[in-house]
Amino acid sequence: MYISENINEFDKIQNIYRNFPTGRLIDISNSITKKYFQNKIYIRGLIEFSNICFNDCKYCGIRLSNRSVNRYELSNEKILSIIEKGYRNGIRTFVLQSGERSYLNSDYNIKKKSSNTPANLKTISLKFIEKVDKLLIEIRRRYSDEVAITLSCGVYERKTYQDWFNLGANRYLLRFETSSGDLYEDLCPGKSFSRRIQALQDLSDIGYEVGSGFLIGLPGETEEITINNLLLCKMLRLDMVGIGPFLAHPETPLAKFPSVDIEQVLKITSLLRILLPESNIPATTATGTLDKLGWEKALSSGANVLMINISPAEIKKEYLLYPGKICIYEDGFKYLSGLKVKLEKIGKQLCFERGDSLTSKRKIGINR
pLDDT 10s digits, 279-317: 999 999 999 999 999 999 999 999 999 999 999 999 999
Give the whole-angstrom CA distance, residue 150 versus residue 137.
14
Mean per-residue pLDDT for 327-348? Answer: 92
Instruction: Give the whole-angstrom CA distance, residue 117 versus residue 367.
Output: 35
* Mean pLDDT for the stretch of residues 262-272: 98
Could you tell me which residue, 122 or 203, shows the higher pLDDT? 203
Quote the pLDDT of residue 112.
53
Which residues, 6+ apart, have CB-to-CB distance to 286 below 8 Å?
A: 244, 245, 247, 321, 322, 325
| Domains of the chain listed by start with CATH number | 7-351 (3.20.20.70)
Amino acid at 266: L
Task: Report the DSSP beta bridge partners of residue 43.
Answer: 306
- Looking at residue 328, its pLDDT comes to 86
* pLDDT at site 120: 78
Question: What's residue 105's pLDDT?
Answer: 57
pLDDT top residue among 277 and 362 = 277
pLDDT band of 360, cuts 50, 70, 90:
low
pLDDT of amino acid 219 = 97
Mean pLDDT (whole number) for 126-153: 97
Residue 368 pLDDT exceeds 70: no
Provide the percentage of residues in the chain whose pLDDT is more than 70. Answer: 91
**Residue 345 contacts by C-beta under 8 Å, 6 or more apart in sequence?**
none
- Distance CA(115)–CA(145), nearest Å, equals 42
Distance of CA 356 to the CA centre of its chain: 16
| Confidence category of residue 53, pLDDT binned at 50, 70, 90 | very high
- Distance of CA 98 to CAs 48, 67, 85, 151, 206, Å? 6, 18, 20, 9, 21
Distance from C-alpha of 285 to C-alpha of 294, rounded to nearest angstrom:
9
Given a cut of 60, is residue 168 above it in pLDDT?
Answer: yes
The answer to whether residue 47 scores a pLDDT higher than 50 is: yes
In tens, the pLDDT along 72-127 reads 999 999 999 999 999 999 999 999 999 999 876 544 454 555 455 556 788 889 99
Residue with the bigger pLDDT between 6 and 355: it is 355
- pLDDT, tens digit (0-9, with 9 covering 90-100), for 213-266: 999 999 999 999 999 999 999 999 999 999 999 999 999 999 999 999 999 999
In the prediction, which pLDDT does 39 show? 97
Per-residue pLDDT for 354 more than 70? Answer: yes
Residue 233 CA to residue 359 CA, distance in Å, equals 13
Give the per-residue pLDDT at 261: 96
CB within 8 Å of 276: residues ≥ 6 apart: 233, 234, 237, 238, 241, 359
Query: What pLDDT band is residue 268 in, cutting at 50, 70 and 90?
Result: very high
CA–CA dist 130, 22 (Å, integer): 47
Mean confidence (pLDDT) of the chain: 92
Encoded amino acid at 76, one letter: N
> In this predicted structure, what is the pLDDT of residue 246?
97
Residue 133's φ and ψ, nearest 5 degrees, are -50, -55
How would you classify the pairing of strands 215-216 and 240-241?
unpaired
Q: In whole angstroms, give the CA distance from residue 135 to residue 241.
A: 26
pLDDT value for 110: 44
Which region, left, alpha or beta, applies to residue 88 given φ > 0 means left and ψ of -120 to 50 means alpha? Answer: alpha
d(CA 101, CA 49): 13
- Distance (Å, whole) CA 174 – CA 55: 14
Give yes or no for a contact between 267 and 25, defined as CB atoms under 8 angstroms apart: yes
Q: What is the 3-state secondary structure (H, E, C) of the chain?
A: CCCCCCHHHHHHHHHHHHHCCHHHHHHHHHHHHHHHHCCEEEEEEEEEEECCCCCCCCCCCCCCCCCCCCCCECCHHHHHHHHHHHHHCCCCEEEEEECCCCHHHHHHHHHHCCCCCHHHHHHHHHHHHHHHHHHHHHHHHHHCCCCEEEEECCCCCHHHHHHHHHHCCCEEECCCECCCHHHHHHHCCCCCHHHHHHHHHHHHHHCCEEEECEEECCCCCCHHHHHHHHHHHHHHCCCEECCEECCCCCCCCCCCCCCCCHHHHHHHHHHHHHHCCCCECEECHHHHHHCCCHHHHHHCCCCCEEEEECCCHHHHCCCCCCCCCCCCCCCHHHHHHCHHHHHHHCCCEEECCCCCCCCCCCCCCCCC
Q: How many residues does the structure list for the chain?
A: 368
State pTM to two decimals. Answer: 0.93
